Structure 1
Amino acid sequence: MGDPDVLEMVQEEERRAGSEERFFEVSEDLSSRESSFLISEEPRFKKDEQSKDSIFFRDGIRQIDFVLSYVDDIKKEAELKAERRKEFEQNLRKTGLELEIEDKMNSEDGKTYFVKIHAPWEVLVTYAEVLGIKMPIKESDIPRADKIPFSCMLGPLKLPRNVKHPHAEYFTAQFTRHRQELFLIEDESSFFPSSSRNRIVYYILSRCPFGIEDGKKRFGIERLLNSHTYSSAFPLHDGQYWKPSEPPNPVNERYTLCQNWARFSYFYKEQPFNLIRDYYGEKIGIYFVFLGFYTEMLFFAAIVGLACFIYGLLSMHDNSSSTEICDPEIGGQIIMCPLCDVMCDYWRLNSTCLASKFSHLFDNESTVFFAIFMGIWVTLFLEFWKQRQARLEYEWDLVDFEEEQQQLQLRPEFEAMCTHRKINAVTKEMEPYLPLCSRIPWYFLSGATVTLWMSLVIACMVAVIVYRLSVFATFASFMESEASLKHVRSFLTPQITTSLTGSCLNFIVILILNFFYERISAWITKMEIPRTHQEYESSLTLKMFLFQFVNFYSSCFYVAFFKGKFVGYPGKYTYLFNVWRSEECDPGGCLVELTTQLTIIMTGKQVFGNIKEAIYPFVLNWWRRRKARTNSEKLYSRWEQDHDLETFGSLGLFYEYLETVIQFGFVTLFVASFPLAPLLALLNNIIEIRVDAWKLTTQYRRPVAAKAHSIGVWQDILYGMAVLSVATNAFIVAFTSDMIPRLVYYYAYSKNAIQPMKGYVNNSLSIFLIADFPNHTVPSEKRDFTTCRYRDYRNPPDHEDKYFHSMQYWHVLAAKMTFIIIMEHVVFLMKFLLAWMIPDVPKDVVERIKREKLMTVKILHDFELNKLKENLRMNSSDFAKHLIIQENKVHLAKSAT
């Protein structure tokens, strides 16, 4: 044991241990000195040493993860705001974040300060563990599920593989700093993606205190933004969208997205969902997955709807109803009762010839088929979306992600407003609490406001109806005068003309009401002080959807189910407010008017929405840059460029979902009246995807990344609308379409075996004796006619129960109710069977999830086992070394004596 080599080895170990101790002490001291130097607020602007595209601090090493900006305030609150900023930034540094401040003299407008924030490694690993972020531990051995039938035919639609799958697939586990050796950390600066970095920094910013005011602890960047202490807070884009970044900047994912996603010439290409998720986070990524999937499913509905429309177009000239109406010997000889009192004259039925032909385009034998098809389509869409969502959860590591993780994160505004505290039943920790008694007044105000605005929508709809009734007589006096009695055929009947102008007016009213209600509902929701962000969005979603449902669909419901149903008959008409006679439908039914209403509102909303989304941020950004570029000799830095972009906002995605869901309602609720609705929606969504991609990539600041594993409450709304659509389409076919009366006549009342539908038009019109007109309704023009016709099933004047409903009326009504019951039961039965047959999670995804969980457990087990063995080996080695050192010390002591 007294060997000199052994003694030398022991002494070397002691020297090495001592040198390592001194190294860590010195490096820690240097690190603290360097940090204190780098976060100095003294401006050191050197234009020749800094690139305008740089996303780093001045040292060119530390990446900028977040940017705050503010402007000196000369008002009385300037000192208070400065004190808040100072306290806030000091607390940010205490959390470990590193700050670098750009003086206003270095900014191009000469008045804006920029606070650049960098999250060092220790901060990232700490909060990655807090937020439960999953990181790779081993490359996956499960092959990608990219192979689909006929994939070779879809080649032109595919993106390059490096764009579609920018990274390899890995087995992942929740990050923990005590197991850093387990994770595939090749480079600490690029291990966490930029979306995770800005998410971590925003989490810190939203909970960092900035002082105590009025006895309450104030914290959170949102409160500072609301009080204008800071003017903005945003993560940086990683480069310019029109050119790739140059070293040392990382790969410019923004440029890649712009080239392969935000270009309108790529409208036929698939979307790079993984790249969208990596850059913007899962919440925005899943919206584009949903919009893309919905658009794909619309393709099939659009083909069937277009086929039904073509069938109507080809069979237009063979339609017996329009043939009889247009025939001068049939329709030309039928004198119709006046469309309004006193001012309107009698008119001949063949004056509606073109309108009747147009009606056949949408009201034919294929209408029933298409209504049933759409009931099945909406079920397949929702069931297949469940599968797509389950596959997405697996691919994006969201299988174990639950909303409860977000529910436990309180809104900073909630924490700031609460004075009470109580123990959380889940976490068993004290947290802010707002008693129900404090919320009830705001709930009442909220409910009253929503009810008031929905009533206002109904009132505006009634006002539009009054407008239509008021101008109808004018149109009728111009268009249905002597000309109509001379067989003049025109598409613009008084009903159609009034419907067109009324629909345009109604659309303008819808936009105006929507503009004001959006702002009121957001303010009321804030006043309710929701506990979490999820509660806030759910409350706002309920308010906005209820209002927009009534706002956009009320006029369509009126035309489909109320107009022309309570008119009465000549001599005993019903009147609105005892002044205006109730509106009548065209002799061909109200389906044409419903189609007109639906087309104007749906198309107008989509065109207006796309123009607004594209032009509004573009013009604002142009004006903002024009005002900012006052000192062109100064560096227009990366953070200044992003600062001059429009803000996407926390509710930006909310309005995108709302727009899509309202369109879904147009496609499903009234599609029996307009089979081209899916085609219009398809064309709009193809443009919508690229408009949203373009504005998000080029015109908006980069949103803070957020996690989500589903489309949330919108899925429940879609299910509700899918169920409602079955009933609405059944009622449209039964009561708005002319299909059921034609079938009843075909099977029960036709007397012509060769041409069963011959005589249907005459059969569907009742007879009224002109002498029975009351004095206040008889036309001012005197005619030699003794009778006129009107659309209804009533007994003739010579019947003992004259003008009462005939037996055919009750037969038609019974057939309509029977059809509704049969159609609803058939569609609901098929919906139930399809929902039962199609699993929510595909079998291959279930197997992949099981495989990944098994491999993750195995990797963690092997890691812990190897770590345990290494610790045991090191402990035994240290124990052996200790024995050697002790024996050598004893040997040296004996030698010395």
Structure 2
Amino acid sequence: TTFLLSGVGFIDKHQQSKDSIFFRDGVRRIDFVLSYVEDNDDARKLVRNNILMYCSMRESEDGKTYFVKIHAPWEVLATYADVLKIKAPFRADDILENREMPMGHILPSSTRNRIVYYILSRCSYIQDCECDKKGIKRLLNNGTYTAAFPLHDCRYWKSSSYSNCESDRYKLYRYWARFLCFFKEQPINLIRKYYGEKIGLYFAWLGFYTEMLLFAAVVGTICFVYGLLTYEENEWSKEICDKKIGGNIVMCPLCDRKCGYWQLSKICNSTWMNNYSYLHLHIVTLFLEFWKRRQARLEYEWDLVDFEEEQQKLQLRPEYESKCSKRKLNVITQELEPYLPLTSKCARACLSGATVLFWLTLIIACIVGVIAYRLAVYAAFASIMKDSPTSHLHVVGPYITPQLATSVTASCINFIIIMILNFMYERVAIWITDLEVPKTHLEYENKLTMKMFLFQFVNYYSSCFYVAFFKGKFVGYPGNYAYFFGSLSKLRNEECDPGGCLIELTTQLVVVMTGKQVWGNIQEALVPWLMNWWGSRKARCHPESLYSRWEQDHDLQPFGQLGLFDEYLEMVIQFGFITLFVASFPLAPLLALINNILEVRVDAWKLTTQFRRPVAAKAHCIGAWEEILNAMAALSVVTNAFIVAFTSDMIPRLVYMYAYQPDGEMNMKGYINNSLSVFNISEFPAESRYRDYRYPSGHEKQYFHTMQFWHILAAKLAFIIIMEHVVFMVKFVVARLISDVPSEVRARVKRERYLVQEYLHNYEVEKLKMQLQKQDHDERTQLRLSLHADTKDHLKLQPKC
């Protein structure tokens, strides 16, 4: 198919501003740039075989890189605007008084580069060939071209004096991309105009998410401060820290060989984590519902209401068209279109599923390895941190215990493993998704999103799930302990502190969440800046006037296929940390808020200054991420209910206070002694204790669970059921009360559809009138001609004088 270019000749850099994004006539805009190294014949083929766009080629200052500059004339833009269903106003808007009417710029630069990329991705570079050798993406993959990108507008750090240079990039940098603008509202409409709807939606979502984090951070901070202020009032904490109570309670060893008996008062500093907040879950629900309303408003304002249906019907992926040699009739369009046979589709799906299962198993294996590390090094830390023959768990410094040291080192190792696996999973997920050959871009992104999120979910959260729901649950009791990999391994299963595993879960969350955010910001900001600085070192040797706009953009980092995808994934993983485990760490929303305030500006800065301008793309929503967020919000209700019921010590305390307090008073005196079971030992002049509810030695039900254990278990299950139903009911009521689409938006959509129907009706009426008038005119003309002919015939019959 012939699409684009016609030669305009070489451009003399000395006669043109370095900020120019036009050809030398100053009228025709450079919509897209292709670059290749040396004299590449294959690169010239695309130019020779597809010549309806204006183009010129020019080598760079290094004498090796050549640039193909492309301009799409109005005829091409108009044709493909119709193919891509790009909307434009046909009459003045009587709904929004201040709505901008870009009549002078019906197609902004983002739309122009989207059209050009659509053409380039489908044009064949071999004439008269029906094979799959077509598309700029294939040429980029095989190295024919080194880059393909639209140009940025001028320079970002100062306004250009060049009259034809637009200043959108400078405006974005000055009023959006700088960190000092963190308190300002984002210019969403300008972002959409410059980068397209897809990137505009991401920043709209990120800004809205950050605003909602403010409320969750306030609630979490209040809970945290309240826990610190009421720490001295907790009766169970006082009993543990009291030398006369906790100091006289001797606990069983926590490992078999190098651990000794220890005093309960040694864990005094780990009993402060006792306050929970469930308001976060309701804030999450409000965030999701209000975002739907915000998204619906943007969908209307950006003319994306009917985009999903259009996306499904049109714009097949070039890779799908090239790999599917068979054709079948589309019953809707009545045209032949490529399709993938069912047998091939099933085979690809099975291979994809097997690969996903293999890599998920690899993650589980890594987590098992970390658990084995925890069990192996705990005894070593206990041996190092001893200060007497009978007390192997004394505190070193004010807070460090063998359990805390084991937890911190294991969390750091787990974080390193997570980072290594992430590097591998990204490539595996892309390979699997390419193997499945999705039909449309939307389908491709959704499949890739689900695979990457599944990998990341297991990778990031599996260690937290282990600490929250498995650690300390399968321990056994003295004389009958449970062992990891069986009794031959000598690795005894871990126990929780008598105050529960919350402090360790908090440690895990802080290390992984904080480490991920710090490492992510380093990757996003520092790495691109260093690579750009190194890549442009040769250009800095030349006068700035010789460093053209396309060369400046060529030296920037490419905004790859997963550029925006990685940003969404980072935020969704963070969303999981602050929702799935918020009951254990109320300060998680505050850390996320601080990170996101920086994240918005870092993303804006790198996109505006460090990356090539991305090809614009349309999207009517945030895609599969919305369903993932909803699923995580629902799962967070279950996880937090189980954390409170089984990981924390809240339910046993309530059962004791209301049912087992010996004095009948509503207080917690004597709770610590009540929560520990007795085990007789011969080496020690007293009885040792362990955390459980079992009958002591000598009882007829020796070491069986007491009735209090079953009462507590019943209370835990009742709490989970009640909490889940209450929270889900609140979520259901809130979702019903808050409409997904604001009423004024629905009215405007109906009004616009009515105007379109009215316009089409009037058009048809006017067309019919014109046809009738033409028909009447033709009939009258025919009648006049007929009368004229009759008159002539009559005169011929008259006798001559």
The TM tier, using the shorter chain, reads: over 0.9
Equivalence for 2:711? 811
Q: Which amino acid in the other structure matches residue 204 of structure 1?
A: I
Structure 1 residues 526 and 630: CA distance shift in structure 2, 3 A? farther
Quote how far apart the aligned CAs of 1:685 are: 1.1
1:832 aligns with 2:724: no
Distance across 1 between alignment mates of 2:505 and 2:380? 22
Equivalence for 2:82? 129
Q: Which amino acid in the other structure matches residue 714 of structure 1?
A: W
Q: Which amino acid in the other structure matches residue 78 of structure 2?
A: V
Contact 2:219–2:280, Cα closer than 8 Å, also in 1: no
Structure 1 residues 427 and 480: CA distance shift in structure 2, 3 A? farther
Q: Which amino acid in the other structure matches residue 324 of structure 2?
A: C
- Partner deviation per Cα, 1:184-224 (whole Å, 9 max, x = no partner): 754xxx43110111111111111111116997252111111
* Aligned residue among 391, 397, 407 for 2:297: 391
Distance across 2 between alignment mates of 1:299 and 1:691? 19
Distance across 2 between alignment mates of 1:440 and 1:628? 52
1:85 aligns with 2:43: yes
Structure 2: unaligned runs, 5 residues or longer: 789-794, 796-801
1:421 aligns with 2:327: yes
Q: Which amino acid in the other structure matches residue 600 of structure 2?
A: I
Quote how far apart the aligned CAs of 1:429 are: 1.2
Quote how far apart the aligned CAs of 1:405 are: 2.5
1:544 aligns with 2:497: no
Quote how far apart the aligned CAs of 1:844 are: 1.5
Q: Which amino acid in the other structure matches residue 87 of structure 1?
A: K
Distance across 2 between alignment mates of 1:488 and 1:495? 11
Structure 1 residues 335 and 137: CA distance shift in structure 2, 3 A? same
- Could you say what secondary structure the match of 2:424 adopts? helix
1:794 aligns with 2:702: no
Question: Number of residue pairs matched?
Answer: 784
Equivalence for 1:614? 525
Quote how far apart the aligned CAs of 1:650 are: 2.3
* Aligned residue among 626, 630, 634 for 1:719: 630
Quote how far apart the aligned CAs of 1:671 are: 0.8
* Aligned residue among 449, 468, 471 for 1:563: 471
Q: Percent identity over the alignment?
A: 61
Structure 1 residues 481 and 802: CA distance shift in structure 2, 3 A? farther
Equivalence for 1:438? 344
- Partner deviation per Cα, 1:580-625 (whole Å, 9 max, x = no partner): 0000111211011111111111111111111110111111111111
Quote how far apart the aligned CAs of 1:869 are: 6.6
Equivalence for 1:730? 641
Quote how far apart the aligned CAs of 1:338 are: 1.0
Contact 1:407–1:534, Cα closer than 8 Å, also in 2: no
- Could you say what secondary structure the match of 2:689 adopts? strand
1:602 aligns with 2:555: no
Equivalence for 1:173? none
Equivalence for 2:791? none
Equivalence for 1:696? 607
Structure 1 residues 484 and 374: CA distance shift in structure 2, 3 A? farther
Equivalence for 1:195? 110
Equivalence for 2:265? 350
1:140 aligns with 2:93: yes
Q: Which amino acid in the other structure matches residue 814 of structure 1?
A: A
Structure 1 residues 214 and 50: CA distance shift in structure 2, 3 A? closer
Q: Which amino acid in the other structure matches residue 733 of structure 2?
A: L
Distance across 1 between alignment mates of 2:368 and 2:381? 20
Equivalence for 2:368? 462
Q: Which amino acid in the other structure matches residue 546 of structure 1?
A: L
Contact 1:390–1:840, Cα closer than 8 Å, also in 2: yes
Distance across 1 between alignment mates of 2:495 and 2:574? 28
Equivalence for 1:11? none
* Aligned residue among 119, 126, 138 for 2:72: 119
* Aligned residue among 626, 634, 649 for 2:537: 626
1:853 aligns with 2:744: no
Contact 1:672–1:733, Cα closer than 8 Å, also in 2: yes
Contact 2:262–2:393, Cα closer than 8 Å, also in 1: no
Structure 1 residues 220 and 133: CA distance shift in structure 2, 3 A? same
Contact 2:17–2:545, Cα closer than 8 Å, also in 1: no
Q: Which amino acid in the other structure matches residue 435 of structure 2?
A: M
Equivalence for 1:272? 187
- Please list, as runs of the form range in 1=range in 2, the aligned pairs for 1:750-761 lying within 5 A after superposition: 750-753=661-664, 756-761=667-672
Equivalence for 1:748? 659
Structure 1 residues 447 and 421: CA distance shift in structure 2, 3 A? same
Distance across 1 between alignment mates of 2:573 and 2:170? 32
1:218 aligns with 2:176: no
Distance across 2 between alignment mates of 1:258 and 1:861? 46
Equivalence for 2:588? 677
Quote how far apart the aligned CAs of 1:433 are: 2.2
Deviates more, 1:623-632 or 1:332-341: 623-632
Deviates more, 1:857-866 or 1:673-682: 857-866
Quote how far apart the aligned CAs of 1:452 are: 1.4
Distance across 2 between alignment mates of 1:264 and 1:494? 42
Q: Which amino acid in the other structure matches residue 101 of structure 1?
A: M
- Please list, as runs of the form range in 1=range in 2, the aligned pairs for 1:855-894 lying within 5 A after superposition: 855-859=755-759, 861=761
- Please list, as runs of the form range in 1=range in 2, the aligned pairs for 1:308-323 lying within 5 A after superposition: 308-323=223-238
- Could you say what secondary structure the match of 1:52 adopts? coil
Distance across 2 between alignment mates of 1:194 and 1:486? 70
1:477 aligns with 2:378: no
Aligned CA-pair RMSD: 2.8
Q: Could you tell me the TM-score, scaled by structure 2's length?
A: 0.92
Contact 1:332–1:487, Cα closer than 8 Å, also in 2: no
Contact 2:679–2:689, Cα closer than 8 Å, also in 1: yes
Distance across 2 between alignment mates of 1:877 and 1:625? 72
1:109 aligns with 2:75: no
Distance across 2 between alignment mates of 1:217 and 1:549? 37
Distance across 1 between alignment mates of 2:594 and 2:774? 68
Equivalence for 1:39? 7
Equivalence for 2:176? 261
Contact 1:346–1:480, Cα closer than 8 Å, also in 2: no
Distance across 1 between alignment mates of 2:114 and 2:787? 57
- Partner deviation per Cα, 1:679-737 (whole Å, 9 max, x = no partner): 11111111111111111111111111111101111111111111111111110000001
Equivalence for 2:53? 97
Contact 1:746–1:756, Cα closer than 8 Å, also in 2: yes
Contact 2:260–2:391, Cα closer than 8 Å, also in 1: no
Equivalence for 2:436? 528
Structure 1 residues 256 and 885: CA distance shift in structure 2, 3 A? farther
Q: Which amino acid in the other structure matches residue 701 of structure 1?
A: R
Quote how far apart the aligned CAs of 1:787 are: 1.6
Equivalence for 1:515? 423
Structure 1 residues 887 and 619: CA distance shift in structure 2, 3 A? farther
- Could you say what secondary structure the match of 2:546 adopts? coil
Structure 1 residues 139 and 423: CA distance shift in structure 2, 3 A? same
Quote how far apart the aligned CAs of 1:828 are: 1.2
Distance across 1 between alignment mates of 2:161 and 2:332? 49
Contact 1:108–1:632, Cα closer than 8 Å, also in 2: no
